[in-house]
Structure 1
Amino acid sequence: MSKNIIEELKWRGLTKQITSEERILEAEKEHSGVYCGFDPTADSLHVGHLIPITLLKRFQDFGFNPIALIGGGTGMIGDPSFKSQERVLQTNEQVKENSDAITKQLKGIIPGVDFANNYEWLGKLSLLDFLRDVGKEYTLGYLLAKESIATRIETGLSVTEFMYTILQGYDFYQLYVNKNCHIQVGGSDQWGNITSGTDLIGSKVGRDKTKAAGLTINLLTKKDGKKFGKTESGAVWLDANKTSVYEFYQFWFNQDDEDAYRMLKFFTFLTEDEINILQKQAIGDPKARIMQHKLAEEMTAFVHGKDGLQQALNITNGFFQGSLKDLSDKEIEVAFKAIPNGEITENETLIDVLVASKAASSKREAREFLNAGAITINDEVLKDENLAITKAFALDNKHVIIKRGKRKFFGAEFK
């Protein structure tokens, strides 16, 4: 283990900007609070949030008190940082529901984390009090110099979003005063908002007395420059009802070697030596996908626990190594939702089932697959296009899983 949190973050390649290493190391000695904000824009977090989530856990491992700040107040406005246009405002009810959902989610992932919701203070703050106590601490020139604001001036920025960075600065001040929180962390796009907080605290408590510091981490992009966490089917959610444990596991497993190595450093809690050993093993046996296996296992267990990981492994083995018949009814249901599928009625012909399940785009294509011996149901290669598909083919009397070739799976569900 590294000597301190700064060393730990640097060897992992996580650090982007730091206001004061000295203050962060002092906060480590004092076991002070460290916080990261999560705006409730949806009822689940996604894999893009895992860097700040794992960051809070890393600080916790070095003796800090981790605080997850839910943006119940700022979520009603929206962060303008590097967005191309104004956010659509959510209703109070949406923000409350989303806040409750991601709070529950975070509690399950990081035990022992402290929680706060900025609606607690922002919701009570009158406009006059805000202008007197907070607004007067910021000059217009200071705000216009913020990159997150400057990039939106020409395309349009409402006063509502313009005030966001001040509100976030006030959040840091509230946590500093009431929760002994000296450090704020976030992605590199949050640098302007973080320094709004450290500067406000300096103004309030004195530049020579403040212990506030901020740190940003590199935003992870894949080696091809594409945004991390986005797939053809959309975001990869941390909620198993939105992204199944099998799909979650496969997301990590399907990274290439270069990205897998970087992600092992960015996301897991493996040591530098352990990661380097995995890399050497992967170079010696590239087909074994050693780094990908470990990455998928570590991240699935971190988010979904040991039971979630075991379910993902069972489904993966059922698809690619063992038999789908060995899966439990629950695992069959999870597997079915993770693949293209459609509804059928009993005794439909095999060729119609292939089209309904999206295993083939047309009957002509279906015949090509059948003639090539590429269609398998329950480990049996089928070629008769007129074969009646009954519930006897279903794994659980309801779901039929069709294998096309070696690695393509499709599902048909009896109505």
Structure 2
Amino acid sequence: MMIEQLSELYGRQIPSRDVSPSLLTNSAVCRRPAFDGAYCQRCGQSADRRSTTLPNGAIYCPHCIQMGRLTSNDELCTIAEPNQFTSRLPALTWTGVLTTLQAECSHRIQAAFEQRQDTLLWAVTGAGKTEMLFPGIAWALEAGLRVAVASPRVDVCLELAPRLQAAFNAVDQAVLYDDMKGAYQYCQLTICTTHQLLRFYHAFDVLVVDEVDAFPFASDPGLKYASEQAKKPNGALLYLTAIPSDWLQRAARKGELVMTYLPIRYHGHLLPEIKVVRTRDWRAKMHQGRLPDRLVRQMRENFTHRRRFLLFAPHVADLPALKRALELTFPGETVVTVHAADPERHAKVSRMRSRELNFLVTTTILERGVTFPEIDVFVLGAEDQVFSTAALVQIAGRAGRSASDPDGAVRFYANQLTEVIKTAQQQIKFVNRKARRIQHDSVRPM
């Protein structure tokens, strides 16, 4: 889509071919080469000339090509962020109350924003990270600053957007993701996928990157580069995670990041711990229309006690056979499956949230970013390589999120006890030990 308005270039970087010729002559537009040698200026990664040279001799970047092909013949156009926002006081319309621990953590976050510090918030799943952001975001918005909250996954962004809109209902908000409906709009508050940060350049005074342990952010150095480039040089960057990676912990130890640690959920209860149930040849049985006996018994117990649950499977390819086996085993139950490419996934998640479904069968698409009260969590095939330690911890974290039901069951059905599963168990036990020691103490930096 051709850029026609100057405001569409505020704090963004757009290839010159996508900018109206009438705008290119404007003195406010800054143009810089898309490549510095073999390095892409949009994602910071290098292109191998042997495989990326075009017939005209230019090279292109294969790493961020999903945002549109960028070549060494292109220029990136931007206009310095002017912060043209109308002040609305107070910005925060949320009327909830933080716990003592949350409030102390929130104070540290706001202080980091005010001091333009880069920060890591290590908080367990269900700690109430989003609500802890509100005072700091309110301070930034009231100061006329530009704010963004980014997450690797579209579903998380779509979950965050209405919560942020309700918390700051007088502030214009943009929600950006691939295949979104509608055109881009210049707004003070932006919610976007981390891929969309590739389109921004020195735009945000405050940038929050949620779920930094999640795919694809955790494995894509271009997205880390994009997050650093999207904030202003004197801006504040906050990383949020329940499972900090090695590089984040190293950065904290070196003093490059200020770390705040919150190992307990907002309702004061510990994380439900993972129980592993050994199975044999579950996939072969599933294709015969059968399920592991212990899983069947557990599901029957849930149906008897009207306990809803999520059932995770490793791959989309497993879902048809799993659905058939469930329908044969429980003919009276409605079996609904969901995955990332499912065009009805949002509607299905809404049905689960509104309690129309007793359970939902899913892939890792629901490992994070969604909350269903009073549920248990089961994983079939937890030994599969598709499940990382971070994914398994996040999946376990779907249980026990509500104060009315903080002790949901977590059962992993696996052919073998892998190192990944054991590490996930150890991480949850580690934070629970920390939580026991500081339940009555203040949040402290580590």
Range of TM-score over shorter length: under 0.3
TM-score, with structure 2 as normaliser: 0.26
Which has a greater percent of helix? Answer: 1
